[in-house]
A = this chain, B = another copy of it.
Amino acid sequence: MTSLNIQIVLDKSDRVGPGKIRLLELIAEKGSISEAARAMQMSYRRAWLLIDSINTMYGEPVINTRIGGYGRGGATLTDFGQSVIDDYRRFESECADLLASRHPLLAANGHRQKKS
């Protein structure tokens, strides 16, 4: 099944794509940065840096933490953080619809005889 991997490049070093979005979704689900990091097999530090980069990129925080700072005490998404996820998933699905409906050649429908 054809899928997309879309990275939004705001600037050379400011990018948001499937990895950061998945991390935010896992934080929402687990209520914890360290548990989300573990689920993605990354260090707490790396998860923290990714979140910090999204905050800086959009100039608005995507998560709330319970005990001052980005502690291990628990984390929830801000409304803005939830909007970033929702909007990204909607955008991804709209692009997938475009690909399927208008670009069958690119989506390889009708090709890949050897594999189908």
Residue of B nearest to A17 (CB): B5
Minimum distance in angstroms from A22 CB to a CB of chain B? 15
Q: Is the CB of B94 within 8 A of A106?
A: no
Interface string of A64-101 (1 = CB under 8 A from B): 00000000000000000001100110110011001100
Which residue of B11, B99, B115 is within 8 Å of A11 (Cβ)?
Answer: B115
What are 25 A-B pairs at a CB distance below 8 A?
Answer: A2-B8, A2-B9, A3-B9, A4-B6, A4-B8, A4-B9, A5-B7, A5-B9, A6-B7, A10-B107, A10-B108, A10-B112, A14-B112, A16-B106, A56-B114, A57-B111, A58-B108, A59-B111, A59-B113, A59-B115, A60-B111, A87-B105, A90-B103, A95-B95, A98-B98
Assuming A58-B108, A88-B106, A94-B98, what are 6 further A-B pairs, CB within 8 angstroms? Answer: A4-B6, A5-B7, A5-B8, A87-B103, A91-B103, A95-B98
